[in-house]
Structure 1
Amino acid sequence: MRRRFSKGVIAIVAIVTVLAAAITVGVFTLINRVTPFRETGEGCKITTPGGTLELEIDQAQVASVIAAVAARRKLPERAVVIAYATGIQESKLLNLPFGDRDSVGVFQQRPSQGWGTPKQLIDPVYASGKFFSALVKVKGYLKLPLHEAAQRVQRSADGSAYAQHEDEGKILAAAFTGRVPKAVHCWFPEPTSTPRTSGTATTTPRPPADRAMRGLVHALGANATFEAASSRDGWLMASWSVAHAQKFGLRRVRYSGQAWTSADGENGWRPDTTTPKGKVDIS
């Protein structure tokens, strides 16, 4: 005998099917974003001798935070490469509020495994710090193949997958650590509101401290001059500022005879003879 279903049951099944498909498409779209489409009118480009990458602005922000946390801890560039390759594999360098089981954040760390609370782990500063704290405990991590070092931190199902992102990690690390000058530029629609002008100040944070820079940008009304202890620190802070320009309403970043402006962001850095020597100037 053929079993018949009521119209109500059929309707419920149809609704569930449609919702499942929509959720699947939405999640797939989010976790598989790699490069921005030019049609969106915003994005970031990373250019180094090792290659070129395009990122979405939120990916660039996460990348700049990872580099800042590593620099604050005085970690070598290899540690940053490992972190980037891990982040790309785990989340496409996106600060995801969800993941497999209870995994969250850029490194998909699990609260149930002692990494921290969900609220802590969706803070890229905290998540990066936890990743690096675990990485430096891996004996000889600087000499290990990248995927082995990453796997000893992550304990994932397939540790070999991290290896495929090593080249991308090297490009990002060369740029966001400041080793390669003017390697990061972003573009986005010009803000219509007038930028904050609460005054200009010169300060020397413990560079490059991500939280300190964020706090200063807020407190100083997006007008500040940072002392750069070295060219590398200066370009790290400049790259961080460009990556966060849209978020904080920055219109110009100047350093080492170069300037980036939001009005001409897609064309990158341009010569600027008014740049204060040895200082990163943002406004």
Structure 2
Amino acid sequence: MYDERDLARAAGVVLSRSFAVKIGGIAALIGVLGLLMLAPFGVSGDQVSAACPPGAPVVDEDPEVSGELRQQQVGFAKLIDEVAVARGLPGQATLVALMTALQESQLQNLEGGDRDSVGLFQQRPSAGWGTIEQIRDPRYSAEAFFGGVNLPDPPGLVDINSWPSMTYNDAAQAVQVSGYPNAYAKQEKAARKIAAEAGIDLNRTGDPYAGRAGAKPSGDDDGGTSSLIDDDCGGGLISGRPVNGVWPPEQATITDPSGTGGQVTPRTAAWVAQARAALGTLSLGCWDAHLWNPSSDHPKGRACDLFVGTDARRSAPAKAAGDRIANWAIQTAATTGLNYVIWYGQIWSARTGKWRTYNGGGVYDTTNPTGGHYDHVHVSLY
């Protein structure tokens, strides 16, 4: 009878955080190593489809495992989700945890690892995560990963301000502080498959800061991963399905095509070019220092504001112009790497494919034309 460490060894999981080593080890067992990517479903009408389109960045993925190791992965996934459900956390918190555990241990409760790392999440006693015995308890390690009151000193997921606004990879990295900060993104597809096998609802709503000690952040710019309000709004605006593409982070290295003098990411520059080709002349601005809100995507070169000229609540042409921009952005999200759109008091997220009420993220007054985004459409790219 094999224990989980034997199975992990059989799968080639070297006790290290190097994802390159993990890929090589698993490939030696299974004999398959390749570049996997999500195929686009296409876009038609008002539907936005899942995508990692031709020409989009390719992210290496670990080959899928099977047999007893897979059964154990599913079992640990259920346990992690049980902890999340008991906490009242949304399904996306479970997804971040599964991606993390897959990268760190192949979702196995390992006896050792890099330096003194142990367990599902390769947490380290020397870093304050607990004793070896505690961390080797899968339920304890899951609780520690999610964080909150009466848990180890290192911040867990609920202790990270605005984690729902981050990419799944960045949310995982904010907890793990890994030497391989971009390693978690490649585990999303596998995590979703395991969750499906385990009967886990990753679209479950909840409080993303459940169990947190102290005050909770008042909101997140993009509405976050938790989708606390899922009201389809209509009114000329379309919705669609979630867009599950993988878009690795980019640095702002391109001169802002909107003429601000700043720099934007290549993805943002490409979006502007496509928007101009499809929509014609646009009044827009992308890079901005946003000193009043440094967490904004504007100073990161990942966002643009497209202006409609006036408060659309008082102008039907302005409302129609904004709807056209927002709808085009959503319809093309699968191929552009769009993250979210804010327009006319509503916010659309690629992760849910739905519109919901925009709350201002604790920064903006949603009753005025600019704060409520009635005079401009905001788009953010991954």
With the length of structure 1 as denominator, give the TM-score of the two structures. Answer: 0.45
Structure number with the higher strand fraction is: 1
Structure number with the higher helix fraction is: 1
With the length of structure 2 as denominator, give the TM-score of the two structures. Answer: 0.34
